[in-house]
Amino acid sequence: MAPQSTYLELSEDAGSAHKFYEVVVAGSQVTITYGRIGEQGQTKVAAFTSPEKAEAAAAKKIAEKVRKGYAPAVRGVRQRRAVTRRTMVSTRSTASQAPVLWRFASGAAAFGIFVDQERCWVGNQNGDVYTVTHDGTVTGRIRLPDGVKCIVADDFWIYAGADDGKVYDLSGKVPRVAYEIAEDVDIYWLDIHDGVLGVSDRDGRITTIDHEDEFQWARKGEGSAAWMVRCDADAVYHGHSRGVARYDASDGAPVWQSRVDGQVLFGWQERHAVYAGTSHNAVYRLRKDDGRVEAVYRCDGAVFSCASAPDGRYVFAGDNHSSIYCFDQSGERLWKLGTGCGSAFSMQFLDDRLYVVTTNGTLACIDAGQEAIRAAQGGSVPEPVDVKAAAGLAVVEPSAVLESTSLADDGIVVECVREGDRLRVRVLSPGYDPQWNVQFPKGVREAGARYLVEGVRSSARGGFYRAYGEIKRLL
């Protein structure tokens, strides 16, 4: 009997068009191959006691994938999405060791980090997102379809931008697709403010997308390779190979362009300033209102990442030699120490601790208090705790499947309606403007369907609502 092959690809609506899953049944043997479109993928072979049992096992696997959004496809029609990752040229620091309190090996090089008062988020190039408490306990694991570019927060919401061109809302129990980036955009970095997404890309463009995942405006910068994008209520700040620019948030009108030495590799922002880390061993602080350079923070290697204490009281940088730096506001270097676990691709400061994610995939918590730093400069550092994820830690994946309920008393009722070729969501519960659209996950929208959400909040600038918490379908 000739082998029977079933080839599936994850549908656009399910969250990624760039993964495949193939099941081949040959007699009593089942061969499963899966991975990213355009790559060879991984293969698993299982033998059964009879052809009938092999076919039953194959049918079960196929059904599981179909429920997750996979659909029959023809191999080779879809092409691999263009993905560029930062070159990982990193050497070991010759500086004294930093006081690392704990470190967690995520399993692959990591760009994504976000830290709040409750936890740390880290995302790596395998698509894994972990949550870790401030004392170093791994509390959750999310598996996205592709590598994580960055993790950003927007008020209550936590978003992860991935190499599959999707931006996932991680705020609920299950990740759901919030935005989809055009196929021809080779994404470098993302930021979000009040539901508006800013995207910088390989060609040096900056693009904004509104809360309904609809194109707002795009501009081509003076340079290419745009690694920096930062958004606030008034503007979008864009860093590329030839400097930093400010554009008006509403219509993309250019406000200023400022040159810096070297290519911008990372960006940070505070209330009145933006910070640009460059390939020419420096971090520049630029005024938001006019783009004037206020201070320059000199390092000894190309700056992969930077961050600051609130309002720029201290400025931190990570270079390509696995060193981290601290400067005072004026630009004076206060200290330089080694991470011991790779170069920091991203970093964030909170409550006298500096959190970094590195080229070898480590999330490290560094004591940046004055006493700990003085001790480290004298050669005395604590023994870092190596954090491990529990073997039984559940893995959560994106899904378009919703629980159903007939109870409408414990939440807000919304309805999906068709408006031209778009599906909109509006609030039915009393006390809300019925004309305002609701920012709502793309993959679960169905015309005529009603949903129960935990809550909705008005956007900061008004005009639309943002759903948060768990979503259930109303029967």
Question: Domains in the chain, start-ordered, CATH in brackets?
Answer: 4-72 (2.20.140.10), 100-387 (2.130.10.10), 403-474 (no CATH)
- Which tokens is 134 given? 């401030």
* Cβ(197)–Cβ(217) below 8 Å: no
* Cβ(387)–Cβ(372) below 8 Å: no
pTM: 0.82
3-state secondary structure the chain: CCCEEEEEEECHHHCCCCEEEEEEEECCEEEEEEEECCCCCEEEEEECCCHHHHHHHHHHHHHHHHHCCEEECCCCCCCCCCCCCCCCCCCCCCCCECCEEEEEECCCCEEEEEECCCCEEEEECCCEEEEECCCCCEEEEEECCCCEEEEEEECCEEEEEECCCEEEECCCCCCEEEEECCCCCCEEEEEEECCEEEEEECCCEEEEECCCCCEEEEEECCCCCCCEEEECCCEEEEEECCEEEEEECCCCCEEEEECCCCCEEEEEECCCEEEEEECCCEEEEEECCCCCEEEEEECCCCEEEEEECHHHCEEEEEECCCEEEEEECCCCEEEEEECCCCCEEEEEEECCEEEEEECCCEEEEEECCHHHHHHHHCCCCCCCEEECCCCCCCEECCCCCCEEECCCCCCEEEEEEEECCEEEEEECCCCCCCCCEEECCCCCCCCCCEEEEEEEEECCCCCEEEEEEEEEEEC
pLDDT value of position 1: 63
Sequence-distant (≥ 6) Cβ neighbours of residue 338 within 8 angstroms? 92, 93, 94, 95, 96, 97, 98, 322, 323, 324
pLDDT value of position 81: 64
Cα distances from 201 to residues 39, 253, 296, 322, in angstroms, run 23, 19, 25, 26
Instruction: Report how far residue 287's alpha carbon sits from residue 172's, in angstroms, rounded to the nearest whole number.
Output: 36
For the chain, residues with pLDDT lower than 70 are 1, 11-18, 77-91
Sequence-distant (≥ 6) Cβ neighbours of residue 229 within 8 angstroms? 189, 190, 191, 198, 199, 200, 206, 236, 237, 238, 239, 267
Angle at 451 between CA 449 and CA 457, to 5 degrees: 130
Among candidate residues 60, 162, 247, the one with its CA nearest the CA of residue 238: 247
pLDDT value of position 375: 96
pLDDT value of position 13: 45
* Cβ(91)–Cβ(357) below 8 Å: no
* Cβ(414)–Cβ(453) below 8 Å: yes
pLDDT digits (tens, 9 = 90+) for 426-462: 999 999 999 999 999 988 999 999 999 999 999 999 9
CA atoms within 13 A on the CB side of 98: 32
Instruction: Report how far residue 324's alpha carbon sits from residue 377's, in angstroms, rounded to the nearest whole number.
Output: 13
Instruction: Report how far residue 353's alpha carbon sits from residue 309's, in angstroms, rounded to the nearest whole number.
Output: 10
CA dihedral over 351, 357, 363, 367, signed as positive or negative: negative
Among candidate residues 173, 214, 219, 175, the one with its CA nearest the CA of residue 200: 219
- Which tokens is 76 given? 């080779």
* Cβ(323)–Cβ(93) below 8 Å: yes
Dihedral of the alpha carbons of 428, 429, 435, 437, in degrees to the nearest 10: -80
Cα distances from 29 to residues 51, 52, 70, 303, in angstroms, run 7, 10, 22, 52
* Cβ(128)–Cβ(111) below 8 Å: no
pLDDT digits (tens, 9 = 90+) for 169-184: 999 889 999 998 877 7
